[in-house]
Structure 1
């Protein structure tokens, strides 16, 4: 079109192009800040979801690393200090029942690095015989538990924590006294709750005085469901180990000595026939603890992801409510020239800022939780630096993702419809 009218239209198009609506990063930041400060209570509640999610994320990963460290130390302190010696007996008939010499405990304990050592075997009772708290024919509790013949070194190597009483010693073993130490599980089955009345139990009709109740052990947990009697007493009453129930030796060592003790124990027990014994050294704890820590990491990462998802849903809901409440404001902005992308960027900036703020606060709270828990348990807190550095970014990402749909809804609001409300 030519003439004055066409010239005026061209000038109008150029003016519109020159004065097209723009939103600079500075203005975007100012608008987002104003939107958050306009309703501080709602903004705080919106950020709370991210605080909880990111805080849980940091705390869970930190506690996982700290717990894994304690698992490593536990494996090193217990599993790596235990050696078991099995009696293979060889092919000689004189060693058919028990190849361990009478002074087996003393021979092994003389090795450098050994703390305690003892020989034990399972006592095979006659068919239908068990452990009773009173003689046959009287009202009594009966338990079909395991009876273990053991030298005093076995109980020392097992690391017992006594509920009541004491364990038998070398005197009881040397004199073949009929005393017994019962595990807490076996004591509960037999109805033994106190040692003040000097309770007795009856094994295959023979009376044994209970002198101790073991509540927990560091090694050989089956003792908690067993009755332990001195080795010499068991030999006097029932004989030595039967075929198929060969004796074993439990050895507790100093840290780092287990592998060497496993190589030396058979020769110390019988220099002429070391092949009568087979040493079982402690397994390499790295494979086991790697599997355990891997399972913990996966479980806790899943938990942290669920917490972040809950936080994202909270931000999305609150931001969507804010969009509905600010419909009139959005319509006015559109009427004054704001474009759809400007509205989208504004709400994304608000949700992203709240997510970042929540991420920073959550990171701090999660770190304090890890350190506080570790101090209370006297552990060494372990938090990977990458976790702390990534947590605020995760909060930002959570906020932006949660604000996508509400921001899109806000950008679709038409000015005319908004101003009618």
Structure 2
């Protein structure tokens, strides 16, 4: 049998029962559509993660500074200025926190009132003036101290909003004072709305010159905020800028790569929905096998006539295999088209940029044809095994 004749017979067999062929194709269409939509939407959504990655997480860098028992500190207080000059750095601040500064007795007045709790155990920190920007917060009242306060050694303090509530400091217009141990400090501001370093809400922040009284002499960590996409570069440059020659002793805590997050999200979505697509393909394959087997049983006389006229077993098997492959191929083409349309529609609704792989659109029809080919193996072999005499009888 010529290949052209074989193809003509297969097409005629498929079109002889159009409604049955259409219903048989539906299973493959659903399976291929699910696969294309799954892979397309996962790739598109994963691509959006990079563009919409949480800016706070993607741009926050913390440099941990170990303490030294001998010699000068690894990072000086003025080293923050060198970091802020790096291209891509938006804000930075140096912070000193030590065991000596935790659970210090802080009270809002020097009077003993047995009816009120005026003394609290709070953490005292020393920081450079850029702390509000570095901690992604704002001054809810008053102001933060500046370089002038630091140079003069003024006894000023800034309270976290929770610390101010605990101490009963609600107004700053009368320059309230707090007492840290025996030392009085004027409260000039309240820091709140912190998106980073939330432990500052219950802390008392003083200038570095004042922090020496509480053992806060050396910088223990540096907070750095970068522009989106510059975190990796700044994470490599910041240690050298803070401590030239000793940068390898500093520990940099940098955000994870947005690309890694995108790949992880895409893998999770693929793993979840690929199962649905494979199940749909299996259902489609079972439908093709069932319908092809029924077709074989209905066309027993045709098979017997063809065999009696000289058709070989391979010709019969090839005809039914080609019919089932055509059904699978048709389902693959339609499913790929519907899947691409669905991905574009979802992207349009979400205002995303659709990300489609050309190889996926080409592979989907091939996958449909392969499903049809595998599904038609058993019916084709059963048709090929029929003896002409038995079939005609």
TM-score (structure 2 length as normaliser): 0.64
Residue 27 in structure 1 maps to residue 5 in structure 2: yes
Q: How far apart are 1:353 and its partner, in Å?
A: 0.7
Q: How far apart are 1:114 and its partner, in Å?
A: 1.7
Inter-partner Cα distance in structure 1 for 2:384 and 2:51: 57
Residue 373 in structure 1 maps to residue 346 in structure 2: yes
Inter-partner Cα distance in structure 1 for 2:271 and 2:248: 46
Partner of 1:346: 319
Alignment CA distance shift 1:299-1:35 (3 Å): same
Alignment CA distance shift 1:93-1:402 (3 Å): same
Alignment CA distance shift 1:263-1:338 (3 Å): closer
Aligned equivalent of 1:383, options 330, 341, 356: 356
Q: How far apart are 1:408 and its partner, in Å?
A: 1.5
Q: 1:32, 1:349 within 8 Å by CA — same for their partners in 2?
A: yes
Aligned equivalent of 2:161, options 150, 173, 180: 180
Alignment CA distance shift 1:47-1:234 (3 Å): farther
- Three-state SS of the structure 1 residue aligned to 2:352 is coil
Alignment CA distance shift 1:106-1:375 (3 Å): farther
Partner of 1:59: 37
Residue 49 in structure 1 maps to residue 24 in structure 2: no
- Three-state SS of the structure 2 residue aligned to 1:168 is strand
Alignment CA distance shift 1:371-1:37 (3 Å): same
Inter-partner Cα distance in structure 1 for 2:193 and 2:370: 57
Alignment CA distance shift 1:333-1:111 (3 Å): closer
Where does structure 2 lack aligned partners over 5 or more consecutive residues?
104-121, 146-155, 171-189
Q: 1:57, 1:307 within 8 Å by CA — same for their partners in 2?
A: no
Alignment CA distance shift 1:363-1:147 (3 Å): farther
TM-score (structure 1 length as normaliser): 0.61
Partner of 2:177: none
Where does structure 1 lack aligned partners over 5 or more consecutive residues?
1-22, 127-145, 160-165, 183-199
Inter-partner Cα distance in structure 1 for 2:305 and 2:271: 49
Alignment CA distance shift 1:80-1:211 (3 Å): closer
Q: Can you list the C-alpha shifts for 1:64-117, whole angstroms capped at 9, x where unaligned?
A: 43344345556797776443222323335996xx9663x787775455432122
Partner of 2:183: none
Aligned equivalent of 1:278, options 250, 272, 276: 250
Aligned equivalent of 1:115, options 84, 90, 97: 90
Inter-partner Cα distance in structure 1 for 2:96 and 2:350: 38
Inter-partner Cα distance in structure 1 for 2:351 and 2:134: 26
